[in-house]
């Protein structure tokens, strides 16, 4: 048990070494951002194009790891024989990437399966485990496999736990936005009511002006009519 724990901490320390970190960091950032995105927009679902793009990560990582093995010593291709277990792991990762990419490109598998197989969490954690195995250059051992499996399980738990504060945060943001929208609607209604009152007041003023003008013209017409009557009588 102590040996297993030491091995787990060895791989965790290895993660922080510069060469490994440069490979692992983009995977970690991408995983967190994608988790955050789909927690924010829960109504959205990944499509086949996203599944295909995710599976390509395995191809890029495997090629990078093959280059690492090739450049480890000055012997070049001989390194693939000297580090047989690591080379097999890289080729297996490459083959898995090609297989999953082909499934996603051709839509061969039901989407409910592909959703889990090609999820960023699954793809990136597989890549992370193989990166640690290859960079350790210690060869195959069940102890290493067990350690990596435990690390992957712990990371799955951690990423699932990350969803909880993200979910709480996005719910809070959503509620605040709803409050702002409600307040904005109330303000708009108040402005509309104010505008209606202003328009009604102007309408009333205009109606009074029009009525006064009509009354003035009516009185003027009556006055002119009387003048015409008087004028007509005088001419008689």
What predicted TM-score, i.e. pTM, was given to this entire model? 0.71
Number of domains in the chain: 1
Residue 221 forms part of a structural domain: no
Q: How far apart are CA 175 and CA 68, in angstroms?
A: 49
Per-residue pLDDT of the chain (236 residues; tens, 9 = 90+): 778 888 888 888 998 988 899 889 988 888 888 888 877 777 777 777 888 888 888 999 999 999 999 888 777 788 888 888 999 999 999 999 999 888 888 888 787 788 788 888 889 999 999 999 999 988 888 898 999 999 999 998 988 888 888 788 877 877 878 777 778 787 888 888 888 888 888 888 888 888 887 877 777 777 767 666 666 656 55
Residue 172 forms part of a structural domain: yes
Residue 73 forms part of a structural domain: yes
> What is the extent of the structural domain holding 43?
2-177
Residue 44 forms part of a structural domain: yes
Residue 234 forms part of a structural domain: no
Residue 232 forms part of a structural domain: no
Is the Cβ–Cβ distance between 36 and 166 less than 8 Å?
yes
Residue 200 forms part of a structural domain: no
Residue 40 forms part of a structural domain: yes
């Amino acid at each position: 048990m102590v040996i297993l724990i030491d091995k787990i901490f060895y791989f965790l320390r290895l993660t922080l070494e510069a060469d490994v970190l440069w490979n692992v960091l983009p995977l970690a950032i991408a995983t967190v951002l994608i988790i955050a995105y789909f927690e924010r927009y829960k109504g959205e679902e990944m499509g086949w194009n996203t599944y295909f793009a995710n599976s390509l990560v395995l191809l890029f990582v495997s090629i990078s790891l093959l280059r690492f093995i090739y450049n480890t010593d000055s012997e070049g291709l001989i390194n693939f024989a000297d580090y047989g277990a690591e080379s097999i792991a890289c080729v297996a990762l490459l083959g898995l990437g090609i297989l999953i990419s082909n499934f996603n490109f051709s839509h061969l598998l039901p989407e409910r399966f592909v959703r889990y197989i090609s999820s960023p969490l699954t793809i990136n954690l597989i890549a992370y485990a193989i990166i640690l195995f290859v960079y350790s250059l210690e060869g195959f051992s069940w102890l290493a496999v067990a350690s990596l499996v435990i690390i992957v399980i712990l990371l799955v738990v951690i990423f699932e736990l990350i969803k909880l504060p993200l979910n709480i945060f996005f719910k809070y943001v959503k509620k605040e936005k709803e409050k702002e929208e409600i307040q904005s609607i109330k303000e708009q209604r108040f402005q509309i009511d104010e505008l209606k009152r202003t328009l009604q007041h102007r309408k009333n003023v205009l109606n009074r002006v029009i009525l006064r003008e009509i009354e003035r013209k009516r009185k003027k017409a009556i006055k002119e009519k009387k003048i015409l009557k008087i004028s007509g009588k005088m001419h008689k």
